[in-house]
Structure 1
């Protein structure tokens, strides 16, 4: 996603999608005086690499990058990415579209603005910057369009999961949450992911941390990405484990409530209408607990 809103919709992707492991999320303004909660959230983003894995690929790119990396001063602090590059690479075998699609995810610090997904050309350049060589994979224009579609679908799916959690705070934030920042932590497994691994489950192939603006309060969400098998017609193949990071008592309490609902499906009598609706959605995800 980015700030430049060229919003011409991309052409429909080829339905004959082959199984691939595309880059996950690309799925994120702090006030002059931050609360302790804000500083906690920002401290996690400050540990990210200067050029993170949020848009192109989940793992660390090997080899020497074909496009020089941008200096740290050029990195956008909101999405940890350099300025958009819509120019074809020197050895690029075909022309890629430069149109970008506007997401459904509201952007914090703005009125009515939404995050914008990268174009196929931007995605290609980002992959090269991470050390990828197109000659090794021989991607076609249709492949790139499918990768973009999967990437965008993953973002939308992750935001839907965030909104389900944020429904717990509908009274606190009636105007709704907005996405402030995001970054990739592909090799920094969460405690929950490690515990699942000790129990015999696979580790996630990627992890992202999203900083959500809840009407002035910054809340960090952890998103683990697991391989869900073949790509579906809606371009969703990833199993997402989305939950608020346990950075505060409120986040811990939210997770305790939802864990209780998942296993009992019977919220207490004093549960609000928003929480009651949320409790009906969460039990189907018991396998994540």
Structure 2
């Protein structure tokens, strides 16, 4: 699939009303990697940073709104290491009877090779862990939105999804413009990937499109990478627009009350 995660530190990386952008630490213990420095094997530099490097997008081709592409489990040409072929089941419902499965390390590597990306084979399993981690976090963010409109999210399904690397969402364009105007306050790096997920609500049969922008955040002090997800319903229905406005209003009021409380001086008893 695309990308997601399993935990969040709850800190908004871009101020103003962009509180849906959460930092998520990498799940991989990079101190245990003896053959590589403590950094993410995925290059999350923007395309502008180096003309010789490709943007760090998901290597699995999700260019059409269909099911998971068929990925070979066979060894790639010139492959020197055996990679696992077992696939991990996600927590994301595909339909009423099955969940989505993530590509195996061998399938992931074959996707990298097919795109012409040079990736050390010993890093592929780490990359798959990061890939799955980000997908799980994205799904948890989707469910937080769904909880605002449904009594139970147990049966919410991911009907289909589409990778759109290189296509900036309107919100991503806005924040890049804000970063250009005020680089000291706002992020100046574009998202390294984008996915559109179509979520099905079985109780009503309604389908809702979510937009997910994937960002790289400043690494931890030990060099471990940090990622950020901006997950929100697309503004293509009245209900989605209403929820986006409602949440933004709630966050503004919460911030106002917090600032007011912090700035208030308690009265003294006379």
Q: Assess, with a 3 A threshold, how the Cα gap between structure 1 residues 231 and 223 changes in structure 2: closer, same or farther.
A: farther
Three-state SS of the structure 2 residue aligned to 1:157 is helix
2:141 is equivalent to residue 161 of structure 1: yes
Q: Secondary structure at the match of 2:199?
A: strand
Q: Is the 8 A contact 1:182 1:210 kept in 2?
A: yes
Once residues 247 and 175 of structure 2 are traced to their aligned partners in structure 1, the CA distance between those partners, rounded to angstroms, is 18
For 2:39, the equivalent position in structure 1 comes to: 19
Contact 1:22 1:151 in 2 (8 A): no
Of residues 107, 130, 142 in structure 2, which corresponds to 1:122? 107
Aligned: 1:199 with 2:184: no
Contact (CA 8 Å) 2:105, 2:128: kept in 1 or not? yes
Q: Displacement, 1:223?
A: 0.3
Measured after TM superposition, the shift of residue 168 of structure 1 is 1.1
Kept in 1, the 8 Å contact 2:217–2:228? The answer is: yes
How many Å apart are 1:15 and its aligned residue?
4.0
- Does residue 107 (structure 1) correspond to residue 94 (structure 2)? The answer is yes
| Structure-to-structure mapping, 1:24-173, within 5 angstroms | 55-56=58-59, 77-79=66-68, 81=69, 83-108=70-95, 110-111=96-97, 113-134=98-119, 139-141=120-122, 143-171=123-151
| Contact preservation (8 Å) 1:101, 1:119 | yes
Q: Distance in 2 between matches of 1:153 and 1:198?
A: 29
Change (3 A) 1:13 1:255: closer
Counterpart-to-counterpart distance in 1, 2:233 and 2:225: 22
Question: How far did residue 226 of structure 1 move?
Answer: 0.8
Runs of 4+ in structure 1 displaced over 3 angstroms? 12-15, 21-24, 173-176
Q: Alignment partner of 2:148: what SS?
A: helix
Whether the aligned pair in 2 keeps the contact of 1:223 and 1:240 (CA below 8 Å) is yes
Cα distance, 1:251 vs. partner?
Answer: 0.4
1:180 counterpart SS class: strand
Partner of 1:39: none
Name the counterpart of 1:258. 247
Counterparts of 1:158 and 1:190, CA distance in 2: 16
Shift of 1:188: 0.9
Structure-1 residue corresponding to 2:184: none
In structure 1, the partner of 2:232 is: 243
Quick one: distance in 2 between partners of 1:211 and 1:236?
A: 28
The equivalent position to 1:183 in structure 2, one of 158, 162, 175, is 162
Contact 1:154–1:236 under 8 Å retained in 2: no
The 1:23–1:252 alpha-carbon spacing in structure 2 relative to 1, beyond 3 Å, is farther
1:23 is displaced (CA, Å) by 8.6
- Runs of at least 5 residues in structure 2 that lack an aligned partner in the other structure: 3-26, 45-55, 180-186, 256-270
Q: Based on CA coordinates, which of the two structures has the bigger radius of gyration? A: 2
1:240 offset after TM fit, Å?
0.3
SS for the counterpart of 2:124 is: helix
Normalising by structure 2, we get a TM-score of 0.67
Contact kept, 8 Å, 1:103 with 1:116, in 2: the verdict is yes
